[in-house]
Structure 1
Amino acid sequence: MLNEQIRELAAHCERFKTPVAWRATSQIITTVVPFLALLTAMYFSLDVSYWLTLVLAVPAGGLLVRFFIIQHDCGHGSFFASKKVNDITGRLVSILTLTPYAYWRRSHALHHASSANLDRRGIGDITTLTVEEYKALPLIQRIGYRIYRNPFFLTTVGGVLHFLVIQRLPLVVQRPSREMALSVLLLDAAMLVVYGTLIYFLGWTDFLLLAAPMVLVASAAGVWLFYIQHQFEETHWSSEPEWDRKTAAVLGSSYYDLPKVLDWFTGNIGLHHIHHLCSQIPNYRLQECMAARPELATINRMTIWESLKCANLALWDERSKRLVPFGAV
């Protein structure tokens, strides 16, 4: 794709970055109301069948993903027009997503500023090594990287560790600053109050029976979405000084063509190439943006079935300019 085409697409996307207050408010209502209804149903289902509780935990976990997208947009300053309203909303939602608002806002901004840059990897990314870097590792580190890149480990164990443990520790945040560390500590305190109160009234057993499956569903879905947004065979990586943000956005991010119901739960985050091209577009306007420029629907498009084939990709091959599996080394 030529630079001129990419600039035209970027200019097109800029026209959709204005927030719409009623749509943002509607999205909050249509997330909060069904979430509370599902929590109530899950609680009463404990006396009926835990299998029913687990079934209800799937859409409840999906709504946690939708809450995360709301927080995500607030962090970009795109959900509401007011920065103050974005920040208040984002901080309140963070109690549900278990993700410190200011910490994540900063690290995610760094991710956008360095996405697909081989010289600035490791900021808000799934860690990705080149073929030559992997070959140069000692055996024990190769094994560690293989475990880390295992899709089951990454989405289950890795997802839970990230949301429940890593994000609770201010000393391990990426590019730490006083604001980021304070964000972690304040959220930890808020979680102690909110979840401590729930545990007091529900008891440890019922609380864990309700919370654990939701967190597992939400964390696994969230990590998989983040993985597939940049980890596909024909993605794009480049080094300085060739790296260009807009080129990286379009060619290094996928369009995950999901069924409409999953687009709803995931806040259209599958339109990730558009989001990276203009991160100020609210999630509720991404589909509108793509519909007005149909060629956007043809760039890096993948279905759910096609995305499953990306699960074994693990290394960037600088010669072929593709992500390859371990077996290709």
Structure 2
Amino acid sequence: MRNEKQRNLNKEIAPYTKSDLKASIRQLCNTVIPFVALWYLAYESLAISYFLTLPLTIIAAGFTIRIFIIFHDCCHESFFKHSKVNRIVGTITGVLTFHPYYQWKRSHSIHHATSSNLNKRGTGDIWILTVDEYLAQSFWQRLAYRLYRNPFVLFLFGPFYSILIENRFNRKGAPAKERINTYMTNMAIVGIIALLCWLIGWKAFLLVQLPIFYFSGAAGIWLFYVQHQFEDSYFVKEEEWDYVKAAVDGSSYYKLPKIIQWLTGNIGFHHVHHLNPRVPNYYLEAVHENTPALQNVTTITIWSSLKAMKFRLWDERNRRFVSFKELKKLSTTI
């Protein structure tokens, strides 16, 4: 029955899994060109006032997220028809967003294959403990988890650690092409930074690039965080795990204002993306609108998504996220 449901959904979605070359090229142009223009304008505005520069960098951060979505689609080989083109464009957009192509492609593929599976956590996801697991931890392990899940740490330091540090190193046992791609990405990033510092000075470079990097990185972590961590999400042990339920019930539809939806490459239709990652970002909304089985997914808005800040642990008994405050009540009944 489960396989039949998946086959039927795949059949409905199949027409949207073929990329459109014109749409992909158009998206590259209306993303990369404005980003470069905004970067230049932000630099020129330094001579006037940083109060003018900062808003320009925030807008540029939005286009950085859009570049990342192109990179993301290339990692799924959904942005272009040919793997080689996805690989080339993915590597270039990876340099622009500080993400090595092969390394991130692997970890993100694991995330898709294991999302909502409690037995297969730890790669390409956010650290989640169940209530029972947390209660079984030592004081120091609990403290580490609390620090990790603290919004101040997650969204202030998270971008610097995950993007600037974690992305720079290869995993143990990584194949040669993955290691070489990471080295090439790192060298390209250093080369571009060195060139820009030479051309405009390191202070000007940091004043422009640092807010772009931070705001885009923090927004990226937030999007990933809220689209899997809502109150009645779906997390089960492997024997109960179902791919379709993990996609439809374990991923949300983040209903965003149209301009933010455009800048974030329709990633708010996360349930569609998890159901079939071969759908290019520019078709995600059409799949959602034209597939009746996807109409009743969990929908969150910017306002309602703020509740996710208090979600800390997965309660297996009641199948929902709980806060540390709620944990005190639960621990007396366990």
TM-score relative to the length of structure 2: 0.94
Matches within 5 A, 1:47-126: 47-126=47-126
- CA positional deviation for 1:178: 3.2
- Which among 169, 177, 180 is matched to residue 179 of structure 1? 177
1:169 paired with 2:169, answer yes
Matches within 5 A, 1:197-276: 197-276=195-274
- CA positional deviation for 1:14: 2.4
C-alpha spacing 1:174/1:255, structure 2 compared with 1 (3 Å): farther
| Corresponding residue for residue 308 of structure 2 | 310
Q: CA contact under 8 A between 1:290 and 1:297: conserved in structure 2?
A: yes
C-alpha spacing 1:179/1:62, structure 2 compared with 1 (3 Å): same
**Alignment root-mean-square deviation, CA:** 1.7
- CA positional deviation for 1:147: 1.0
Q: CA contact under 8 A between 2:248 and 2:294: conserved in structure 1?
A: no
Q: CA contact under 8 A between 1:6 and 1:250: conserved in structure 2?
A: no
Q: CA contact under 8 A between 2:65 and 2:216: conserved in structure 1?
A: yes
| Corresponding residue for residue 289 of structure 2 | 291
Q: Which moved more, 1:29-38 or 1:178-187?
A: 178-187
TM-score relative to the length of structure 1: 0.95
Identity of aligned residues (%): 44
Deviations 1:47-94 (A, max 9, x none): 111111111111100111000000000010100111111111001111
Q: CA contact under 8 A between 2:17 and 2:279: conserved in structure 1?
A: yes
C-alpha spacing 1:19/1:306, structure 2 compared with 1 (3 Å): same
C-alpha spacing 1:79/1:129, structure 2 compared with 1 (3 Å): same
AA partner of residue 11 (structure 1): K
Deviations 1:70-121 (A, max 9, x none): 0000010100111111111001111111000010011111111111100000
| Corresponding residue for residue 11 of structure 1 | 11
Unpaired runs of 5+ residues, structure 1, are: none
Take 1:101 and 1:83, find their aligned partners in 2: how far apart are those partners? 13
| Corresponding residue for residue 186 of structure 2 | 188
- CA positional deviation for 1:174: 7.9
Deviations 1:130-178 (A, max 9, x none): 00110111111111111111123212211221111111122xx387443
AA partner of residue 25 (structure 2): T
- CA positional deviation for 1:216: 0.6
| Corresponding residue for residue 20 of structure 2 | 20
Take 1:110 and 1:317, find their aligned partners in 2: how far apart are those partners? 24
Unpaired runs of 5+ residues, structure 2, are: 328-334
AA partner of residue 154 (structure 2): L
Q: CA contact under 8 A between 2:256 and 2:302: conserved in structure 1?
A: yes
Q: Which moved more, 1:67-76 or 1:30-39?
A: 30-39
SS where residue 287 of structure 2 aligns? Answer: helix
- CA positional deviation for 1:195: 1.4
AA partner of residue 107 (structure 2): S
Take 2:90 and 2:314, find their aligned partners in 1: how far apart are those partners? 35
C-alpha spacing 1:2/1:258, structure 2 compared with 1 (3 Å): farther
SS where residue 312 of structure 2 aligns? Answer: strand
| Corresponding residue for residue 135 of structure 1 | 135
Q: CA contact under 8 A between 2:227 and 2:251: conserved in structure 1?
A: yes
SS where residue 311 of structure 1 aligns? Answer: helix
Q: What stretches of structure 1 move > 4 A for 4+ residues in a row? A: 1-7
AA partner of residue 99 (structure 2): T
AA partner of residue 65 (structure 1): I
Q: CA contact under 8 A between 1:159 and 1:220: conserved in structure 2?
A: yes
Take 1:255 and 1:6, find their aligned partners in 2: how far apart are those partners? 19
